[in-house]
Homo-oligomer: A and B are copies of this chain.
């Protein structure tokens, strides 16, 4: 699309060559020739000098040097977002329908306006609510309940009897309801005897939950592993058996929550963090990246480190080398003085 037409689309004004072809959107730093970008937050103004974007949406009163052609608009970020339907990917539009190759079991209850994609397997006794989209190559085991308005991407697996609320999004490769890690070990006459503990609970996921690619949620030993309404989980996260996650929790990529831990409402578990079994992360607490929680985290606390301690204590720990260095100098000074005193005494 020509730059002049882009400007018209966003009701913007520009000075320069309106014939330049705009092909994609990008941030100032990432842009290359043919891209359109935007400057909304003044803190990124310094990126204007070096951006390779061909056009940049800026505020009416922006002043500054740049190679790019400026398109002036009242709200650059909104104008930028409004271009996504033009330059962004074609969205998934799934006309309701069940692909001819989908395998549908017995006693399956299907809502209205469903989409079920190619090579997806819906086992016996499954219930699916209205308007849910299940992409191709998904495997739903028996007696699963899926609510309305959900979107399950390819290669998702949901094991038997698990329950999903409404408007749940499961990204590609998510595995729900795997057996948890549970064994008994007895030392017999011939050596250890390891017996698998049956995992006969389920996973219960609330409404408006989103779970990222290849994340795993184990079923309960008994009862339910639970993920509350509006909780958002990133990619490659591990949720152990019987974990209880409240509504409005955030869990960032590659974090792990061990068996029977409890994450309360508003808590945030950052990337690659771990929470040990049977502990509670209380309301609105945060666990920093790569941190390891070994005891309960109080309400509102931000813990860091492995084992995790409050942020301030962790920061103090980082100062330790400098503290020790100072101390060393003071001790050397003392030694000299004491030596002098000793000689004076002689």
Contact = CB atoms under 8 A, between A and B. Distances in A.
A161 B290 CA distance: 33
Interface stretch (A1-9, A59-67, A135-143, A295-303): A135-143
A27 B318 CA distance: 41
Interface string A227-252: 00010101110101010100010101
A26 B204 CA distance: 13
Interface stretch (A10-18, A85-93, A108-116): A85-93
B153 A155 contact: no
A238 B125 CA distance: 35
A211 to B, nearest CB: 11
A147 interface: no
A210 interface: yes
Contacts of A267: none
Nearest to A171: B178
Nearest to A243: B30
A316 B31 CA distance: 41
Interface in A153-210: 153-155, 157, 159-161, 169, 171-173, 175, 178-179, 181, 183, 191-192, 194, 196, 198, 200-202, 208, 210
Interface of A: 24-27, 29-31, 35, 80-81, 84, 88-92, 101, 103, 117-119, 121, 125, 135-137, 139, 141-143, 153-155, 157, 159-161, 169, 171-173, 175, 178-179, 181, 183, 191-192, 194, 196, 198, 200-202, 208, 210, 212-214, 216, 218-220, 222-224, 226, 230, 232, 234-236, 238, 240, 242, 244, 248, 250, 252-254, 256, 258, 260, 262, 266, 271-272, 274, 276, 289-290, 292, 305-307, 313, 316-318, 320-321, 323-324, 327-328, 330-331, 334-335, 337-338, 341-342, 344-345
Given A200-B84, A328-B327, A331-B334, A223 B175 contact: no
A15 B287 CA distance: 45
A139 B135 contact: yes
A90 B160 contact: yes
Contacts of A334: 331, 334-335, 338
A125 to B, nearest CB: 8
Contacts of A242: 27, 30
Of A81, A90, A262, A290, the most chain B CB neighbours within 10 A belong to A290
B271 A175 contact: no
Given A157-B155, A306-B290, A335-B330, A202 B320 contact: no
Contact of A342 (B198, B266, B337): B337
Contacts of A90: 125, 142-143, 160-161
A341 B345 contact: yes
A222 B36 CA distance: 10
A196 B210 contact: yes
Contacts of A276: 289
A119 B117 contact: no
